Amino acid sequence: MNAEIVVIGTEFLLGASVDTNSAWIARGLAAAGFDVQSVRTVGDHEKRLEEVLQSSLARHDLVVATGGLGPTVDDMTRRVAAKVSGHSLVYREDLARGIEEFFRKRNRPCLKANLSQAFTPQGGVLVPNSLGTAPGFIVKVGKSHLVVLPGVPSEMRVMFENTVVPYLKELRPGGAVVRSRVYRTTGMTESQLNETLRDIFESSKNPSMAVTADPEGVDVRLTARSESGEKADQMLEALGKTVLGRLPNHVYGLNEDGLETLVGRLLKMRHLTLSTAESCTGGLIARRLTDVPGSSDYFLRGYVVYSNEAKTDLLQVEGTLLKSRGAVSAEVAKSLAANCRKNSGSSLAVATTGIAGPGGGSDTKPVGQVFIALADESSSQVFEHRFSGDREGIRRRAAQAALELLRRYCLSLPLKD
């Protein structure tokens, strides 16, 4: 069965917001065995939305729409969905009471506009919203099915998993099962990875292989179709072993694994503690590490030492060293890491100093040059990198490289290939 995703909101067309829902929904639909053929974005315009939904439903077995279920005047999805499906909107007292209770618990007034969310198409399947006030719904339109969900990602995801997925299983009993597995890599460019896996790309049809690159690394996605989930998993496992064999030391996780989560797990397993001294990354490494619940078990302290004065005052980097070698140098990076570890009392310390741009570079110290140092109780080692991209990209690549350095240290791997 085929499907289309419709993302609703003028903010996406203006570039004011970034759509993350469609990618998440697409993964969920693929896992449920649906062939997602396209994603469409439409603004908050009643006539255009009606045309998009009508054409989508005419061409697909399933349409999943997200957005436009709020209480404001531009939230028209509920009304348009009822119109194209031929169902009248009915006011549900049980939903109204739930909305009023939602605001009462938060000591906020429930306005008349909020109660507009208690209207749903008659005869539709309700998709409860445990995190907000906008319920979703599913209606049958001819031979097609229309699923309508709110645009708030946290609400949409829970609703999709709790109600939509069971509905889809009933809608599509038996048939092919689609399973995916993502191998997350870092330290290799997309072109390097392509050369390493070229023959597998060209020869593998089921499972198929695709790559996605961003500043943190390159993801390799394997997708298998089979008559059973068990068989699909076996196919993924077999091809996955080949991928791992081709990429020694570069695969750090599967699916949604973040490098900061893995590093935290390794530090905890080895009973190590960590502190950070960041110049060009501006606290990004510390933020990623402390985004992980329980990171207080191993993360002790983070210094953001952007200026030369901060490097001297907080981490005792000698003024003569800064003057002779410059803040962006291997020597300063090593001093930052060693003194950070000593001051904080942690087992390890990682430090960054570099030129993130867009200005500040020179022929001898170009934009993208970053030194990353790692200190333990016996030594301080430093590695030079030349990252490409804009300021944000360079900072993200530097933070990822620092975390990768920690991963390799904890696993006793070569610190640099």
Query: What is the residue type of 125?
Result: V
Note whether residue 416 is domain-resident. Answer: no
Note whether residue 269 is domain-resident. Answer: yes
Domain boundary among 146, 171, 196: 171
Same domain for 167 and 26: yes
Helices (H), 291-329: 308-315, 319-325
Same domain for 161 and 51: yes
How does pLDDT run across 187-200, given as a tens digit for each residue? Answer: 998 999 999 999 99
Region 142-162: what's the mean pLDDT?
96
Q: Model pTM greater than 0.85?
A: no
Same domain for 196 and 49: no
Indicate whether 220 pLDDT > 80. yes
d(CA 67, CA 363): 50
Note whether residue 74 is domain-resident. Answer: yes
Note whether residue 134 is domain-resident. Answer: yes
Number of domains in the chain: 3
Question: Which of 33-37, 159-163, 299-303, 322-326 is predicted with the least confidence, judged by mean pLDDT?
Answer: 33-37
Question: What is the predicted pLDDT for the residue at 174?
Answer: 62
Same domain for 245 and 135: no
Same domain for 218 and 238: yes
390 SS3 class: coil
Domain boundary among 220, 254, 288: 254
Same domain for 223 and 200: yes
Same domain for 160 and 39: yes
Same domain for 353 and 270: yes
Domain boundary among 171, 197, 228: 171
Note whether residue 415 is domain-resident. Answer: no
Closest CA to 76 of 88, 89, 67: 67
85 contacts 77 by C-beta, under 8 angstroms: no
d(CA 408, CA 82): 56
Closest CA to 185 of 410, 414, 411, 407: 407
Note whether residue 232 is domain-resident. Answer: yes
Residues 6+ apart with CB under 8 A from 5: 22, 25, 26, 29, 36, 38, 39, 40, 63, 64, 65, 66
Same domain for 140 and 219: no
Same domain for 398 and 337: yes
CATH of residue 160: 3.40.980.10
Same domain for 231 and 92: no
How does pLDDT run across 292-317, given as a tens digit for each residue? Answer: 999 999 999 999 999 999 999 999 99
CATH of residue 382: 3.90.950.20
d(CA 130, CA 239): 39
Note whether residue 315 is domain-resident. Answer: yes
Mean of the per-residue pLDDT values of the chain: 94
Question: What is the predicted pLDDT for the residue at 144?
Answer: 96
Residues 6+ apart with CB under 8 A from 305: 277, 278, 279, 311, 314, 315, 317, 336
How does pLDDT run across 37-89, given as a tens digit for each residue? Answer: 999 999 999 999 999 999 999 999 999 999 999 998 888 999 999 999 999 99
Measured in residues, the chain has a length of 417
Indicate whether 357 pLDDT > 80. yes
Confidence of residue 159 (pLDDT cuts 50, 70, 90): very high
Residues 6+ apart with CB under 8 A from 210: 220, 221, 223
Note whether residue 417 is domain-resident. Answer: no
For the ranges 103-112, 216-225, 301-310, the one whose mean pLDDT is highest:
301-310
DSSP 8-state assignment for residue 112: G
Question: What is the predicted pLDDT for the residue at 175?
Answer: 64
Q: Are strands 348-354 and 274-278 parallel, antiparallel or unpaired?
A: parallel
pLDDT: which is higher, 178 or 217: 217
Confidence of residue 1 (pLDDT cuts 50, 70, 90): confident
Residue 64 lies in domain: 2-171
Indicate whether 173 pLDDT > 70. no
Closest CA to 62 of 84, 36, 88: 36
Same domain for 12 and 150: yes
